[in-house]
Amino acid sequence: MEIKSRFKTYRVEFVESLSLLGELAAEDDTFFVIDRAVYERYREQLPAGSAGRLFLMEAAEEHKTIATALAICEQMTAMPAKRNTHLVSIGGGIVQDVTGFVATSLYRGIRWTFLPTTLLAACDSCIGGKSSLNYKGFKNLLGSFYPPDQIYIYQPFFRSLSPRDYCSGLGEVVKFNVIAGKEGLAHIEADVDALLAHDYEKLEQYIQSSLEFKKKFIEADEFDRGERILLNFAHTFGHAYETVSRYAVPHGSAVALGMMTANAISVRRGMIPQDYADRIAAVCRKILTHVEIKKEYFDLKAAVSAIRKDKKQTDRNITAVLINEKYELSVFRDVEEEEIAFAINHLLSSME
């Protein structure tokens, strides 16, 4: 798959082995940033890293910060390669966010290759060029746009994911199919059980289709000023649940909960029938079985506070992407706190 960006044209390639890493490690200008847990699990298949050319990162939300990015820069600037440096990052979305920020900042932009090790990163965030850092306890307040030059997807990485992380990745897969409308919903309803049973052939098909669906949006609106905003469906509420739970609710699971919240508002406004929202909720509940749902994660005051600090909000009115009467997505800039309270109560009752 080839994606055209204002910065460059970059590629996504599915690979059957990690032999390419040995070739990259042999180059003097390559610097590796690898999720420490991934490195420990796949040590024999990953490059050992020569002195000063390997950074093992603790991939947790509390480390998705400017401090981590600067620590990587500190080590990379000791290399003689400078602007010829080739950054290779291996990990999930947190590693991608931090290394993407480094790649765009260091020497005003360096070559960058990314290997996603989580389903969430592979089916969604690996393309589009967004890199975001958490700041002062709030999600993704700092960031940039700068895509990798090359993305390699090695599916065996996903076989070692915990059930929690695997299902979190499915949250974005479900979102893309819901965005695709009635036909997309019917497809994911038919296949979600096979995906949960780890049908990896079908999983690869859904990774491919998710990326192809997203590609159309990011090529038309790379910098998130127009139609790409529609991909934020469920994220207004999902990001709030992540923040309030202190990331006990992982991103893809938060997106599933955000879909259910957004749809409750659409139903209340008379834009979609209850049975359509119920169908989406039934799929979402199937992928939420490994997440603990605590009532305090959905505190209205805390959630609204987090929403108001979200970078997508433009003024005091609350903006959210909702499904409209045509079963398509629209941006609404008039969401009321009372509507959010109703939707949260509906969400919690449906999860009991």
Sign of the alpha-carbon dihedral angle for 130, 61, 171, 303 = negative
24 lies in the same domain as 149: yes
Looking at 159, 189, 222, the residue that finishes a domain is 159
SS3 187: helix
Across 147-177, b (16+ Cβ under 10 Å) vs e yields bbbbbbbbbebbeebeeebbbbbbbbbbbbb
pLDDT reported for residue 213: 96
Q: Where does the pLDDT of residue 50 fall: very low under 50, low under 70, confident under 90, or very high at 90 and above?
A: low
How far apart, in whole angstroms, are the C-alpha atoms of residue 126 and residue 150?
10
What value does the mean pLDDT take over residues 301-325? 86
Region 325-332: mean pLDDT is 96
H helix count then E strand count, the chain: 13, 11
Same domain, 21 and 70: yes
My answer on whether 58 and 168 are in the same domain is no
Count of domains observed in the chain:
2
C-alpha to C-alpha distance for 71 and 56, rounded to whole angstroms = 11
Considering the domain architecture, whether residues 51 and 176 belong to the same structural domain is answered as no
How much is the pLDDT for 74? Answer: 95
- What would the mean pLDDT of 192-213 be, rounded to a whole number? 97
- Both 175 and 119 in one domain: the answer is no
In this structure, the answer to whether residues 195 and 308 fall within a common structural domain is yes
Mark whether 100 and 212 lie in a shared domain. Answer: no
Same domain, 269 and 188: yes
Alpha helices in the chain (DSSP H): 19-25, 36-41, 66-76, 93-105, 119-120, 163-179, 182-196, 200-220, 235-244, 251-268, 274-286, 300-309, 337-350
Written as six digits, the tokens of 95 are 């590693």
Residues 286 and 142 in one domain: no
Looking at residue 280, what is its pLDDT? 98
pLDDT given for residue 141 in this prediction: 87
Whole-prediction pTM: 0.91
Measured CA to CA in angstroms, residue 118 lies from 14, 271, 289 at distances of: 14, 35, 18
Question: Which domain-ending residue is among 159, 174, 190?
Answer: 159
pLDDT at 249 over 90: yes
Q: What percent of the chain has pLDDT over 90?
A: 88
Q: What's the pLDDT at 4?
A: 95
Burial status of residue 333 (CB atoms within 10 A of its CB: 0-12, 13-18, 19 or more)? exposed
Per the DSSP assignment, residues forming a β-bridge with 157 are none
**What separation in angstroms does the CA of 308 have from each of 142, 239, 262, 313?**
16, 11, 16, 6
Domain that holds residue 126: 2-159
Specify the residue for token string 């508002």.
265
- Residue 298, pLDDT above cutoff 80: yes
CATH code where residue 99 lies: 3.40.50.1970
Same domain, 136 and 235: no
Q: Domain with 240 in it: what CATH number? A: 1.20.1090.10
Same domain, 145 and 167: no
Which of 131, 159, 187 is at the close of a domain? Answer: 159
Helix (H, G, I), strand (E, B) or coil at 238: helix
Reported as a single tens digit per residue, the pLDDT across 85-140 is 999 999 999 999 999 999 999 999 999 999 999 999 999 999 999 999 999 888 88
Same domain? For 88 and 195 the reply is no
- Residue (of 328, 334, 329) closest to 314 by Cα position: 334
